[in-house]
Amino acid sequence: SIANGSVDCGMGILAAANALKLDFVPVAEERYDLIIPHRFLNDIKIKALLNLICNSPEFKELVNNLGGYNLRDSGKIMYEQ
């Protein structure tokens, strides 16, 4: 592993590098979307999850403090069928 010095470099995410106090050089940006079938939107667990993602300043602060995550489109419906 990089952390124990057996290798010089590897692929990873900024949050992991920060947690292990490693240097980090970004090489790409990835986007992750949460896809929820319309029939589940009224499920109490899905509602709780969406409420957390969309409305919780504490959640957003926690994610931002990890480093490397961009929440600009968090909670936005990107496509609806």
Tens of pLDDT, residues 7-39 = 888 889 999 999 999 999 999 998 889 999 999
Residue with tokens 């990873």: 12
pLDDT at 6: 82
DSSP-derived secondary structure for 12-77: --HHHHHHTT----------------GGGTT-HHHHHHHHHHHH-HHHHHHHHHHSS---TTTT--
Share of the chain above pLDDT 90, in %: 64
- CB-based contacts of 26: which residues, under 8 Å, 6+ apart? 14, 68
